[in-house]
């Protein structure tokens, strides 16, 4: 594979040299994953979720690729993300999933972004602005079925539905909710949420309100709740080839699209009893070879990985030793061989060795979502065809 493009120009020097630490995104993996999800959920459509810099994969380039391969819909968290995509020429339907402020409504209309109407008050703000402009706003009604985040409670949704019916300048394009536990082994809570949502959909039907896009399924529900797929599913972390939890079944075969790589920049021999890095938390009782890698918590490689993580050099795993610094970390290769310039795999595969986002998450005491979304924007993204 050859690089298609390199993004994040501030991290590239005037002669085009990229930092030795970078993220590599295989766009063909995104295509494979989307196709696998589509086969699994058909006839439901697929919304590709691009929150948090497309889960670390790069917002704009990921969106461009998804549009090239015919994604049905895009989802972002914030208005700013939607505006950026529009300004970069992305013309696919885009839903902003997060809550909105009243003074943001004009921008939604300016950039043709679908809004989340999470209350009667929000819906009326949208209706008022659209009427003032003589325009039509696209909205998705948000129902809280048990997340307690945003959205009207399922047991008082009737007021929002009635308000939507009265709107003359809002096209109710969709209605949706969000699972709190669809990636768990025990689906009791998720099934209760689905039942609540289906009851609200029945209320819609009885009122003659028929939004064409009913959606609640996230990655966990795509994998194990086929009755939740409805008109559209929202593919987040699964689209990027990472499973949402250890408990979720692997009913859709996906592969990670993202690798995180760096290179050895220094090699030294460390004597017994000589501590490594801040706080002197690691030392050897025998002579070892230690290499330095130019990546740290300033790039999003968690400090909590100190003395827990491993990296791959020359097809073999080695432990990260001492505290991870802001911009550098050290690796113990014992008495084996490595040279300056050798590739270091932080996340990804090399030969038979692999380090997954799930494994990094376990070492760091977090979840794969945080591993991916925490990769800083100062790390260049390189896209492979």
Gyration radius of the chain's alpha carbons:
24
From residue 160, give the alpha-carbon distance in Å to each of 117, 136, 204, 253, 338: 9, 18, 10, 39, 63
Domain hosting 63: range is 43-240
Residues 212 and 297 in one domain: no
Number of domains in the chain: 2
What are 246-273's pLDDT values in tens digits?
A: 999 999 999 999 999 999 999 999 999 9
Choice among 155, 266, 278, 339 that is catalytic: 278
Mean of the pLDDT values across residues 33-45? 98
Measured distance CA(133)–CA(49) in Å, rounded: 30
Residue 385 banded pLDDT, cuts 50, 70, 90: confident
% of the chain beyond a pLDDT of 70 = 95
Residues 164 and 269 in one domain: no
pLDDT at 14: 42
Residues 281 and 227 in one domain: no
Pull the structure tokens for residue 166: 């009265």
- Name the domain boundary from 240, 273, 289: 240
- What CATH number is attached to the domain comprising 356? 2.40.37.10
Residue 19 banded pLDDT, cuts 50, 70, 90: confident
Residues 228 and 328 in one domain: no
Residue 101 banded pLDDT, cuts 50, 70, 90: confident
Secondary-structure breakdown of the chain: helix, strand, coil percentages, each rounded to the nearest 5 = 35, 25, 40
From residue 187, give the alpha-carbon distance in Å to each of 223, 247, 322: 12, 11, 41
Domain-embedded: residue 33: no
What are 195-231's pLDDT values in tens digits?
A: 999 999 999 999 999 999 999 999 999 999 999 999 9
- What CATH number is attached to the domain comprising 227? 3.20.20.10
What are 134-173's pLDDT values in tens digits?
A: 999 999 999 999 999 999 999 999 999 999 999 999 999 9
Measured distance CA(38)–CA(235) in Å, rounded: 10
Residue 8 has pLDDT above 80, yes or no: no
Measured distance CA(49)–CA(294) in Å, rounded: 31
Residues 327 and 229 in one domain: no
Q: Interhelix angle for 59-68 vs 79-87, to 10°?
A: 60
pLDDT at 16: 54
pLDDT at 88: 98
Residues 162 and 264 in one domain: no
Q: Which of helix, strand or coil describes residue 379?
A: coil
Residues 77 and 197 in one domain: yes
At residue 138, φ and ψ (nearest 5 deg) are -95, 125
Residues 232 and 273 in one domain: no
Mean of the pLDDT values across residues 292-315? 98
Q: How far apart are the first and last CA of the chain?
A: 6
Residues 263 and 229 in one domain: no
Residue 237 has pLDDT above 50, yes or no: yes
- Name the domain boundary from 187, 208, 240: 240
Residue 131 has pLDDT above 50, yes or no: yes
* DSSP count for the chain of H helices, then E strands: 11, 20
The verdict on whether 51 is a catalytic residue reads yes
Residue 9 has pLDDT above 80, yes or no: no
Measured distance CA(184)–CA(12) in Å, rounded: 42
From residue 303, give the alpha-carbon distance in Å to each of 149, 294, 320, 324: 30, 14, 11, 5
Residues 87 and 142 in one domain: yes
What are 326-342's pLDDT values in tens digits?
A: 999 999 999 999 999 99
Residue 53 has pLDDT above 90, yes or no: yes
pLDDT at 130: 97
Residues 95 and 197 in one domain: yes
- Name the domain boundary from 213, 240, 267: 240
Domain-embedded: residue 37: no
Domain-embedded: residue 140: yes
The verdict on whether 243 is a catalytic residue reads no
Residues 273 and 202 in one domain: no
């Amino acid at each position: 594979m050859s690089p298609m493009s390199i993004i994040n120009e501030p991290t590239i020097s005037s002669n085009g040299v990229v930092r030795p630490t970078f993220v590599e995104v295989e766009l063909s993996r995104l295509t494979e994953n989307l196709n696998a999800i589509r086969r699994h959920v058909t006839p439901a459509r697929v919304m590709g979720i691009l929150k948090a810099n497309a889960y670390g994969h790069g917002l704009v380039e990921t969106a461009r690729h998804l549009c090239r391969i015919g994604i049905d819909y895009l989802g972002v968290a914030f208005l700013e993300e939607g505006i950026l995509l529009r300004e970069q020429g992305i013309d696919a339907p885009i839903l902003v999933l997060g809550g909105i402020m009243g003074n943001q409504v004009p921008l939604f209309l300016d950039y043709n972004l679908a809004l989340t109407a999470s209350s009667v008050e929000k819906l009326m703000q949208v209706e008022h602005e659209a009427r003032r402009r003589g325009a039509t706003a696209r909205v998705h009604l948000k129902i809280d079925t048990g997340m307690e985040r945003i959205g009207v409670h399922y047991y008082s949704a009737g007021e929002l539905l009635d308000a939507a019916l009265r709107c003359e300048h809002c096209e109710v394009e969709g209605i949706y909710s969000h699972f709190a536990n669809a990636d768990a082994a025990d689906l009791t809570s998720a099934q209760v949420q689905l039942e609540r949502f289906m009851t609200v959909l029945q209320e819609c039907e009885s009122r003659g309100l028929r939004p064409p896009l009913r959606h609640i399924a996230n990655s966990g529900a795509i994998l194990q709740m086929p009755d939740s797929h409805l008109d559209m599913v929202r593919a987040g972390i699964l689209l990027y080839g990472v499973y949402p939890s250890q408990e979720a079944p692997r009913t859709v075969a996906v592969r990670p699209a993202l690798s995180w790589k760096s290179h050895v920049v220094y090699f030294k021999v460390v004597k017994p009893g000589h501590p490594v890095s801040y706080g002197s938390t690691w030392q050897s009782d025998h002579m070892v070879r230690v290499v330095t890698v130019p990546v740290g918590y300033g790039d999003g490689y968690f400090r909590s990985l100190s003395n827990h993580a491993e990296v791959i050099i020359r097809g073999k795993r080695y432990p990260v030793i001492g505290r991870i610094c802001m911009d550098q970390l050290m690796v113990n290769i014992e008495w084996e061989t490595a040279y300056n310039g050798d590739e270091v795999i932080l996340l990804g595969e090399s030969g038979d060795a692999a380090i997954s986002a799930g494994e990094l998450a376990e070492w760091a005491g977090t979840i794969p979502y945080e591993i991916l979304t925490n990769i800083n924007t100062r790390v260049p993204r390189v896209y492979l065809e």
